[in-house]
Amino acid sequence: MDKRLKLLVSNDEVEFIRDYGRALEQSGMEVVYVPKDGAKLLEKIELLHPDVVLADLFMPHIDAFGVMKSCSDRMVNKPFFVIVSSTMSPVLEREVMNAGASYLAVYPFNPTDLAQRIFRIAGYTVGSKYREQTIDNTQSLEIQVTEILHQIGVPAHIKGYHYLRDSIIMSIETPEIINAVTKQLYPSVAKRYNTTSSRVERAIRHAIEVAWDRGDVDVLNTYFGYTIHNTRGKPTNSEFIAMISDRLRLHMKSA
């Protein structure tokens, strides 16, 4: 029998529940709150075995880094981690992701948007309480896209990396958007990051150029085939996004 997504939140303050918790609950997931304390959070994780943990980066007794490391050391099926911070920087995000997090959110965040991301991270149908079959039943779509970008050679610290990841996920969830890259896709990504469509386009182009300069030719050939031929050059932004999203979509159908 399918089950609801269980989210464990390391914040039981009235203001947090009012501003964020209620929207998470209304999305269809089961939300359990624990005080903002790393030691208490770790105890609750071992007791409840949640699907996803939403935790502040800095907590009394044990911070998020310590909690994630303890789970990696002590648990076979550890939960996905979404970490929340009041600040954001490429260095901080890289450290948090390398420590085991699936996503780094920044206060103040939109709880409805974060709920959708949490569903995707855990492999659930967005906006639903039921589990979705992912590509290999163990990894979420977002993690699959992230791994592909790493394989191709797109560095995680540049803006284009994040824009590409969201663009590919959008193209998988809404295939027709790839036919309106400049009118729909770029503006949608730009809105999420409070920037402009032209900056999104330039950042994605830069990310692709970096990947072509530093990436493994065999890996690039696997994903892009003829586009890396000397006479063709690098793929366009839309080609890059379409090829990866189509590949993942076909894997999802076959799964």
pLDDT tens, residue by residue, 31-59: 999 999 999 999 999 999 999 999 999 99
* Residues making up the binding site: 12, 56
The stretch 19-27 carries a mean pLDDT of 89
Buried b (16+ CB within 10 A) or exposed e, 57-73: bebeebbbbebbebbee
What pLDDT is recorded for position 39? 95
Instruction: Evaluate if residue 136 carries a pLDDT over 80.
Output: no
Region of 225 (left: φ > 0; alpha: ψ -120 to 50; beta: rest) is left
* Mean of all residue pLDDT scores within the chain: 83
* Residues making up the binding site for Ca(2+): 12, 56
Handedness of CA 40, 46, 48, 51 (dihedral sign): positive
C-alpha span between 233 and 223 (Å, rounded): 14
Topology of the domain comprising 141-254 = Arc Repressor Mutant, subunit A (1.10.10)
Lowest average pLDDT, out of 73-82, 211-220, 221-230, goes to: 221-230
The number of CA neighbours under 13 Å toward the Cβ of 10 is 29
Tokens at 48, concatenated: 């409840």
Q: CA distances (Å), 44 to each of 10, 31, 143, in order? A: 10, 13, 25
Topology of the domain comprising 6-122 = Rossmann fold (3.40.50)
Contact 204, 167 (CB under 8 A): yes
Q: Where are the domains of the chain?
A: 6-122, 141-254
Domains 6-122 and 141-254 equal at CATH topology level: no
Contact 118, 54 (CB under 8 A): yes
What pLDDT is recorded for position 131? 40
